[in-house]
Structure 1
């Protein structure tokens, strides 16, 4: 049996979902995305769960798409579906960021309701450097970012920090690293004060534009992403990336 790459636990009204695939820095493989979707569905169906916390083990929150698998429409469609699932979950989804986020991982951040990041966390949308574009995850990111900020980070592929991410609307707030756990706990406690109906209906209200974009553009974004992954230029760049020596 393959080891579980995502874990779910529930206590005191909070379902905690932990990405735990350290061998590839929590890359969005088919197995990880399937398991994450299953755990999100389980949390939504649990009558005791009022809030969902999405976090990671290890040093990296998510390194993006698993490039070793990224040669079909299945991966981009799964990323679109995960963004839809997070945005439509009746419970608020809080993301705790203690480590870097790259490329496709930003789609999980963009779809979430509240994102708390440690000051040391960095972000980058590196697709442009591999002959790709952040097509599938643009569905949630373009709903969060100012147009100028989106152009900057989409086109440059540069690394930026947590304070800049907060200023552009990508994360809710940043805190010193040693205060992250405490602030996340306070955030969860505040959300637990809301009634289930109040939380679900308020989430539906604030996510209306995001969901409209996903429903309108989701399949087109997935197809464009798959076409780019399959292009000769991107395949050459990804093969070079996968075969180069990378630090442990």
Structure 2
């Protein structure tokens, strides 16, 4: 499988490694990357030889959130276009969340916005001790809408509220307490910890593992098409506010928005 923004390699055990490969952009989620992740997950989901999937990233960051060019396009787009683009992101996250294989994230550097969304749909998250996390959307006058069903399913409402509202950046240990991260290790031990997590999954019968994952999802917070659509509508509403226009403009103009002293 050949892509422009990601790489996919499969070893002899049937372990697939999907790597975000936009290191020069801190692996920010572009329209192309969203499409390619959706495509590769679709292929892996239906391949009976795949036993587990690792999601990792090249460069200094795991995923810095939304791509700046993509954000500029949303800034000038009309409401239907914004809804369509948010829906593409939502369907990518849904595909990852529904993947009937164990999904293990290897996280280093920064995971902001959509990057937090990516780890929220993984079954096991191994993070380097120096990794940083943040739901930074409100700094721009926006909200973490598209990723929110998966974040809430991961952390619960009580832990998500202050992180949603404050846009505060937090470390790996706090991310573990919140429920985003399964295990925190020193950066030099990251690969070994990921391999240990993969090995643990490989003792399970592949079909039973997939059914067990589906069972757990069915008993958790329902993430229906209606829920996804409602979050996207809230995002579209927010894009049309004066705060969003001010926050996004200030970001691109490299100045503080009016509400920040």
TM-score by length of 1: 0.92
Contact 1:131 1:237 in 2 (8 A): yes
Count matched residues. 243
Counterparts of 1:168-247 in structure 2, within 5 Å, are 168-209=178-219, 212-244=222-254
Could you list the structure 1 runs, at least 4 aligned residues long, displaced by more than 3 angstroms after superposition: none
Contact 1:135 1:222 in 2 (8 A): yes
Quote how far apart the aligned CAs of 1:64 are: 1.0
Residue in 2 that maps onto 1:70: 74
Contact 1:84 1:214 in 2 (8 A): no
Determine which of 136, 152, 155 is the counterpart of 2:165.
155
Could you give the per-residue CA deviations for residues 53-108 of structure 1, whole angstroms, max 9, x where no partner exists? 11100111111122223341123212211221112111111111012100121111
Counterparts of 1:1-248 in structure 2, within 5 Å, are 4-11=4-11, 12-66=13-67, 67-71=71-75, 72-209=82-219, 212-244=222-254
Could you give the per-residue CA deviations for residues 175-208 of structure 1, whole angstroms, max 9, x where no partner exists? 1111110010111111111111111111001122
Secondary structure at 1:213's aligned position in 2? coil
**CA 1:209–1:82: 2 relative to 1, 3 Å:** farther
Quote how far apart the aligned CAs of 1:210 are: 5.1
Distance 1:61 1:209 in 2: 30
Could you give the per-residue CA deviations for residues 110-136 of structure 1, whole angstroms, max 9, x where no partner exists? 111111111100101111111111111
Distance 1:167 1:128 in 2: 22
TM-score by length of 2: 0.87
**5+ long unaligned stretches in structure 2:** 76-81, 256-261
Distance 2:184 2:207 in 1: 29
Secondary structure at 1:128's aligned position in 2? helix
Task: Quote the RMSD (CA, aligned, Å).
Answer: 1.7
